[in-house]
Chain A
Amino acid sequence: MALVSRGFSGRRRDDDVKLPPGQYLTEDFPVLSAGPTPQVRTERWEFTITTETGEEHRWDWAALRALPAEHFTTDLHCVTKWSKLGTMWEGVSLDTLFADVETTADYALAHSYGGYTTNLPLEDLLDGQAWIAFSYGGEDLTAEHGGPARLLVPHLYLWKSAKWLRGIRLVNEDTPGFWEGVGYHNYGDPWREQRYWGD
């Protein structure tokens, strides 16, 4: 039995909504994971931004929750071809977390509890485009969806929105992450259908 995902071929067309090319609409919230689900207790949770010079900015859970949070509604597009529209979240904008970070780096590598990594241009994390989210649908974010806190960068395919976020390293040289190093697109814009290398 071949278990390699062949793109989870679209089974449904919904002409009433505008979806990125090749995507189909889903109402549920599929759970994808490349390993065991980390169970991270908020008492032990921490998040760090590490600059290219090694300077560390660190928040524990209380410090994160003391920052101004935003409620936002956004669409999610997974590279396995499902899209989920109008998802409701609460989290802290990365603009807030980067407010006192001095850097000239162009790239970011997000890393997670459990070892997952994903790379992005730093500019895609700023200007109201990305959050650390800790609530989904009015409830605490569950571990299977990346709780206690995950990255959300909804203008890119969802693999860029690292679950169980632990930190962001700022780097001068772009370094492929967990999926970008094995065939998935380095940037991952769903509206340009950048799924795989060369797309």
Chain B
Amino acid sequence: MSTNDDHLDANAAGGALRELFSVDLTAAGTLCATCAHSFTFAEALLYARAPGLVGRCPACGEVVFRLVRGPGRAWLDLRGSTCLAIRMPEGR
């Protein structure tokens, strides 16, 4: 089986993620739960022509996040990511 492809880079998910979090998650580091590849969220392959946003690991293609936005609600599934590394301001 081969595939063709039609994705964006996940910088395009920045606005949607900023609605949920007060930090810019596209700059956050993460590990793929499937292949342990280390990357920033912005490097994920983003599939946006779907009922939600789907981010896939740039190394193995497995799903690392799903974000669905409904009226007054949002659902974020991060089970494909094992950890988030978020830059924080110094000061303590």
Contacts and interface: CB of A to CB of B under 8 A. Distances in A.
A114 interface: yes
B71 interface: yes
Contacts of B68: 4, 179, 182-184, 196
Contact of B52 (A1, A37, A182): A182
B67 interface: yes
**Residue with the highest number of chain B CB atoms closer than 10 Å, among A1, A36, A38:** A36
Interface in B2-24: 2-8, 12-16, 19
A35 B48 CA distance: 9
A40 B4 CA distance: 11
Interface residues of B, number: 38
A89 to B, nearest CB: 22
Interface stretch (A12-20, A26-34, A56-64, A133-141): A26-34
A4 B77 CA distance: 14
Interface size class of chain A, counting residues whose CB lies under 8 Å from the partner chain: 35 or more
Contacts of B15: 1-4
B51 to A, nearest CB: 6
- Which 5 pairs show the lowest CB-CB distances between chains A and B? A183-B75, A2-B15, A36-B3, A183-B68, A4-B69
Interface of B: 1-8, 12-16, 19, 46-54, 56, 61-63, 66-71, 73-77
Given A181-B77, A184-B51, 18 more contacts: A3-B8, A4-B15, A4-B16, A4-B67, A4-B68, A5-B51, A7-B71, A35-B56, A37-B4, A37-B6, A39-B4, A44-B1, A143-B4, A182-B66, A182-B68, A182-B77, A195-B70, A196-B71
